[in-house]
């Protein structure tokens, strides 16, 4: 892709998913700090904010897992694309707002699919 980085190579994606990092974000962490601690196979749940933060990629379909786990309730949740900049040019992760009961279902589904979940 001229002028950009282009898509992530599948081998690189696998290597990134094998990387283990310890993530302990305080409940006061802002969304930019959350984004820098996400990966294709890791989501972060903030119970106080009723939000799950994640990165959706073609290599690991986190959003697909989330929507399937919610079933008919998927139409009731809010998914918002977040940006690194105020003008909205640079996309970062996504934020899914959901109830605590929905979160319990979704977090189990993610773990069963091999997605690592961290909680603040």
pTM over 0.75, yes/no: yes
Write down the pLDDT at residue 66: 94
pLDDT value of residue 40: 77
Residue 50 φ/ψ region, left for φ over 0, alpha for ψ in the -120 to 50 degree band, beta for the rest:
left
Say what the pLDDT of residue 16 is. 54
- Mean pLDDT, each 10-residue run in order, the chain (120 residues): 51 58 68 76 90 85 92 90 84 90 95 90
DSSP per-residue string spanning 96-116: EE--HHHHHHHHHHHHHTT-E
**Cβ-proximal residues to 70 (8 Å cutoff; 6+ apart), any chain:** 77, 98, 102, 105, 106
User: Tokens 């189990």, residue?
Assistant: 108
Rounded Cα–Cα distance for residues 84 and 116 (Å): 23
Check if the beta carbon of residue 47 is closer than 8 Å to that of residue 23: no
């Amino acid at each position: 892709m001229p002028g950009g980085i282009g898509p992530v190579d599948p081998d690189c994606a696998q290597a990134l998913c094998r990387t283990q990092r310890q993530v302990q974000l305080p409940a006061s962490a802002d969304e930019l700090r959350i984004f820098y601690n996400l990966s294709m196979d890791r989501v972060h749940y903030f119970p106080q904010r009723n939000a799950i933060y994640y990165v959706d990629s073609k290599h690991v379909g986190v959003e697909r897992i989330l929507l399937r786990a919610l079933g008919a309730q998927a139409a009731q949740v809010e998914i918002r694309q977040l940006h690194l900049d105020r003008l909205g040019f640079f996309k970062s992760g996504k934020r899914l707002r959901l109830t605590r009961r929905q979160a319990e279902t979704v977090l189990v589904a993610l773990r069963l699919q091999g997605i690592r979940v961290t909680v603040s």
